[in-house]
């Protein structure tokens, strides 16, 4: 059994919105997926939310439940014509969160626990205005993937590979946290993001990502010369350095950006949509999504679109 992407969407704050909301951005992207797939909200059995940064630093309740409510997924299953419960939860692992969610979705779909899994990812500045904080690196951006069982043999996602360092050197690459001791009256709208020096962080992540991709290609029999790599923007030149380390043409490694900052958890969806929009380069028949972020940690998964 394979798992395929039925629909994918990203969402930006609207021009008339004075502040951004991770719940609204995730829900807007989710509704876009449902519209493209011609499905009602109650067709979704499980929603997994992977966003990290959110308005007012909200951590309770799980934002997945708020997204579920905003989209209208199985809000009153007893009143539905065919009673069915909807299940939602948060899964946070920074830049790798969406690929973690794909791995969970593969397990749920393979066992028949649900017919469809909706994965959402949205990050916003705690104040709702990332543009007002020059030190904050991430874009206000939402995204969603609708996942279902595939019907064509040899298509869909391969296994998800995850790898991290043991952290013996005390490095975590990037740390985002709320300084509760000194947050003051405006603390709910602030966040502290600490990053290792660019050269150190990038070298760690490039080395870890290259090793993970090489091992994945070997273990899964993946031909990198026939593969388009879609990676996160862990550094401005991350894609070029990863291509160089792997001995690939730079045109074979893409790291799409976003307006107003770096994409974080939404990056894999942004990369997937970029590949669809521009079509795969000649000689490429599959994708490899590569995420790299705090920890340092890396995840990757292959994807072969249906109809190719």
Question: Residue 299: beta bridge partners?
Answer: 162, 291
**Is residue 101 over pLDDT 60?**
yes
Q: Which CATH class is domain 161-304?
A: alpha beta
Per CATH, the homologous superfamily of domain 3-154 is Thiolase/Chalcone synthase (3.40.47.10)
3-state secondary structure of 90: strand
pLDDT in tens, 112-170: 989 999 999 999 988 877 777 887 888 899 999 999 999 888 899 999 999 986 554 44
Q: So where are the chain's domains?
A: 3-154, 161-304
**Strand 297-304 relative to strand 156-157: parallel, antiparallel, unpaired?**
antiparallel
The secondary structure of the chain in percent helix, strand, coil, rounded to multiples of 5, reads: 35, 25, 40
Which of 169 and 260 is assigned the larger pLDDT?
Answer: 260
Which of 4 and 175 is assigned the larger pLDDT?
Answer: 4
- DSSP states of 266-302 as a string? THHHHHHHHHHHH-PPTT--EEEEEEEETTTEEEEEE
pLDDT in tens, 157-195: 999 999 986 554 444 456 666 665 555 556 655 666 665
Does the pTM exceed 0.95? no
Phi, psi of 252 (to 5 degrees): -95, 0
Q: Which residues, other chains included, contact 111 with Cβ-Cβ below 8 Å and sequence gap of 6+? A: none
pLDDT at residue 169, as a whole number: 46
DSSP state of 122: E
Q: Where are the alpha helices (DSSP H) in the chain?
A: 22-37, 63-71, 97-110, 198-220, 238-246, 267-278
DSSP state of 214: H
pLDDT in tens, 16-66: 887 889 999 999 999 999 999 999 998 999 999 999 888 777 667 889 999
In angstroms, rounded to a whole number, what is the distance separating the alpha carbons of residues 157 and 180? 41
End-to-end CA distance of the chain: 18
């Amino acid at each position: 059994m394979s798992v395929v992407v039925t629909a994918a969407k990203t969402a930006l704050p609207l021009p008339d919105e004075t502040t951004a909301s991770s719940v609204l951005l995730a829900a807007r992207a989710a509704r876009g997926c449902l519209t493209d797939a011609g499905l009602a909200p109650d067709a979704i059995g499980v929603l997994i939310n992977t966003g990290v940064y959110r308005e007012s630093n909200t951590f309770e309740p799980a934002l997945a439940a708020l997204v579920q409510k905003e989209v209208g997924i199985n809000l009153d299953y007893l009143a539905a014509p065919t009673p069915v419960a909807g299940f939602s939860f948060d899964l946070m692992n920074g830049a790798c969160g969406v690929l973690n969610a794909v791995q969970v979705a593969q397990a749920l779909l393979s066992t028949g626990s649900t017919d469809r899994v909706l994965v959402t990812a949205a990050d916003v500045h705690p104040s709702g205005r990332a543009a007002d904080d020059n030190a904050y690196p991430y874009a206000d951006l939402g995204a969603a993937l609708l996942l279902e069982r595939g019907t064509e043999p040899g298509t869909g996602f391969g296994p998800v590979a995850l790898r991290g360092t043991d952290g013996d050197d005390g490095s975590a690459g990037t740390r985002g946290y709320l300084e509760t001791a000194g947050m003051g009256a405006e603390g709910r709208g602030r966040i502290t993001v600490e990053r290792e020096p660019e050269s150190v962080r990038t070298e760690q992540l490039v080395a870890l990502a290259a090793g993970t991709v090489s091992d994945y290609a070997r273990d899964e029999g993946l031909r990198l010369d026939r593969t388009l790599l879609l990676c996160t923007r862990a550094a401005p030149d991350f894609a070029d350095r990863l291509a160089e380390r792997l001995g690939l043409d730079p045109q074979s490694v893409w790291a799409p950006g976003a307006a107003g900052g770096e994409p974080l958890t939404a990056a894999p969806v942004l990369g997937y949509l970029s590949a669809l929009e521009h079509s795969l380069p000649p000689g490429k028949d599959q994708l490899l999504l590569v995420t790299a972020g705090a920890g340092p940690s890396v995840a990757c998964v292959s994807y072969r679109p249906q109809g190719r």
